[in-house]
A and B are shown apart, each in its own frame.
Chain A
Amino acid sequence: MSVITQTSPAAAQAAAPEKPWRRPSYWPFVVPALVVVLAIIIFPWLFTIWMSLNEWKVGAPTTFVGFSNYLRLPNDPRFIEAVGHTLVYTALSVLLPLLFGTFAAVVFHQKFAGRGFLRGVFIMPMMATPVAIGLVWTMMFHPQLGVLNYLLSLIGLPPQLWVFHPATVIPSLVLVETWQWTPLVMLIVLGGLAAIPTEPYESAQIDGANFWQVFRFITLPLIMPFLFIAGMIRMIDAVKSFDIIFAITQGGPGSASETINLYLYSVAFAYYDIGYGSAIAVIFFLLIVALAAVMLYFRQRMLWTETGSDA
């Protein structure tokens, strides 16, 4: 039976050449979504570019001004400062989750009782409502009543001002971001670990390699592609991070934790400077694309040096 039903399309065509059959068009399936995507993704993008070329304030007539909104950017100290905050915040929020996430993935790759349930618990921070957890972190950061300073006092460390001091606000927010998104890195790397064949490990065991050597010379190179994907996704999300920062500090104290995204919010929806806000949105998007391109470039270069020039 199974032999008869398993005819390839080519064989079927050869058997019935007098009745040519063509695959139907699948366009009608895509049209509704295409309309939605045009309306909520393509149209906003085109409109944003148009607005960025205009002097456009809510409640005032608009005038075409060419690129002058873009020319304002390099002379806007608050924007320059926001770019700096964004880059520091992003770099830390990529590296720390990658580090902890890889460690967590190696642990979750082992077999132990209750692994499934604990994995569910472990990913709860990234699924929880960001505003809700931001609220609780704010309470935990409280210099007098917060539980974090109490925990510090238990190990003999002096109390900190956390998000209430310009010098510590970004590291404190990165702490929340790391707590929240390490699970995503873990899941991606865990997928990578599951795909590794067992042979290299068996031969390493025979050769008497220790745990660290096995990790450094077998596991790490094999999960590199997954680490790269995780790093890329992490970068895109960290650059855009909004909910946590807005809920905890609103960019403060002063503007010490104001990233591009928060500044964009202020310009567009507190000052209603739509034209300038649109220019920031365009440059912001290009910055994310540029960061992704830089990461891809280094990845390519790493592949080249690993495999030699003939790759």
Chain B
Amino acid sequence: MNLRSLLGRIGLWFAVLVIVSPAILFFLWMASLSLKFEIDNAAYPPVFIPEHFAWKNYADVLASNRFLTYFINSLIVTGSATALALLTGVPAGYGIARMAAHKSAIVILIARITPGLSYLIPLFLLFQWLGLLGTLVPQIIIHLVVTVPIVIWIMIGYFETTPMELEEAALIDGATRWQVFRHVALPIAKPGIAVAFILAVIFSWNNFVFGIVLAGRETRTLPVAVYNMISFDQLSWGPLAAAALIVTFPVLLLTVLAQRQIVAGLTAGAVKGG
């Protein structure tokens, strides 16, 4: 290795360090805040690694009686909205790809451009009129605004790349189009479905704006619960940071584990709904 390429290596590693450190330092600082007692969090100059870890911050958050409720709410809303989106969106993506109905994608595009709040006003009135406020149903339905376009968009792209010869052979042999979809197209599309599933879960889990309007005291999802902690219940930083980390931890874990699928899905152009 000559001097020139050695300098190149050093420069590259310096650049890598500069690029990733904002993300690394932020999440380390978040963890640090969540593991410190009030006295350390209020210290100046700031303490990065405390002498005593305040594991109690996490215990307090997890033990507070409503946290479990909110966690279950989040699971139900994200789970239902994702399941419904897959049930309707995967066949739709298949149909649109096979019909080559590219113009229908304009609806997805409009959904992508529309601010989430625009859906909230009419649907809020509708739910009020139907007497559904106070249950989780409105949030499940409105999260479909996020999940359905993501799933349809990714599945159109995926089914367009899967070969049609096998399907046509099966059709000519007398299989119905449902059998072909179920036994030929779906098994091949599994990786695409995984991408759609992961992105739908993340963007539904993270969603905040729908919850602040539609959720009542009993029907909050985790992001809304954390936001309410800032304004009402909790003023000390340790438990707040712990709650924030608990809320976002599942997503961060999924990001690192399913990094390849996430990158594939995001670069397919289906980024973020609502």
Least distance between B183 CB and chain A CB atoms (Å): 15
Closest to A137 in B: B26
Q: Provide 19 A-B residue pairs closer than 8 Å at the C-beta atoms, listed in order of the A residue.
A: A26-B95, A26-B96, A26-B177, A29-B95, A33-B92, A37-B111, A41-B111, A128-B206, A129-B247, A135-B227, A135-B240, A136-B241, A138-B230, A187-B267, A247-B230, A265-B117, A269-B213, A284-B115, A285-B113
Per-residue CB proximity of A187-223 to B under 8 Å, as 1/0?
A: 1101100000000000000000000000000000000
Closest to B231 in A: A250
Q: Is the Cβ of B121 less than 8 Å from the Cβ of A281?
A: yes
Q: Is the Cβ of A179 less than 8 Å from the Cβ of B22?
A: yes
With A131-B223, A136-B30, A281-B118: A29-B244 Cβ-Cβ less than 8 Å: no
**Bound CA span A127–B84, Å:** 22
Chain A residues close to B by CB (< 8 Å): 9, 12, 21, 23-24, 26-30, 32-37, 40-45, 47-48, 51, 103-104, 107-108, 110, 112, 116-125, 127-133, 135-136, 138-140, 144-145, 147, 150, 179, 183-184, 187-188, 190-191, 229, 233, 236-237, 239-240, 242-243, 246-247, 261, 264-265, 268-269, 274, 277-278, 281, 284-285, 288-289, 292
Q: Is the Cβ of B272 less than 8 Å from the Cβ of A237?
A: yes
Closest to B260 in A: A116
- 4 shortest interchain CB distances as A-B pairs: A29-B95, A33-B92, A132-B244, A47-B122
**Bound CA span A125–B101, Å:** 35
Q: Is the Cβ of A29 less than 8 Å from the Cβ of B45?
A: no
Contacting residue for A32 out of B24, B88, B206, CB 8 A: B88
Contacting residue for A121 out of B20, B30, B87, B212, CB 8 A: B20
Closest to A146 in B: B46
Contacting residue for B241 out of A33, A104, A139, CB 8 A: A139
**Bound CA span A183–B116, Å:** 22
List residues of chain B with CB within 8 A of the CB of A48. 118, 121-122
Contacting residue for B110 out of A41, A183, A247, CB 8 A: A41
Q: Is the Cβ of B142 less than 8 Å from the Cβ of A40?
A: yes
**Bound CA span A264–B209, Å:** 12
Least distance between A159 CB and chain B CB atoms (Å): 11
With A33-B88, A243-B209: A123-B144 Cβ-Cβ less than 8 Å: no
List residues of chain A with CB within 8 A of the CB of B112. 236
Q: Is the Cβ of A124 less than 8 Å from the Cβ of B23?
A: yes
**Bound CA span A229–B91, Å:** 28
Closest to A116 in B: B259
Task: Report if B232 contacts A (CB, 8 A).
Answer: no
With A131-B226, A140-B29: A264-B23 Cβ-Cβ less than 8 Å: no
Least distance between B236 CB and chain A CB atoms (Å): 11
List residues of chain A with CB within 8 A of the CB of B26. 125, 133, 136, 179
Q: Is the Cβ of A268 less than 8 Å from the Cβ of B148?
A: no
Contacting residue for B113 out of A104, A269, A281, A289, CB 8 A: A289
Least distance between A196 CB and chain B CB atoms (Å): 15
List residues of chain A with CB within 8 A of the CB of B19. 103-104, 107-108, 122
Closest to A243 in B: B208
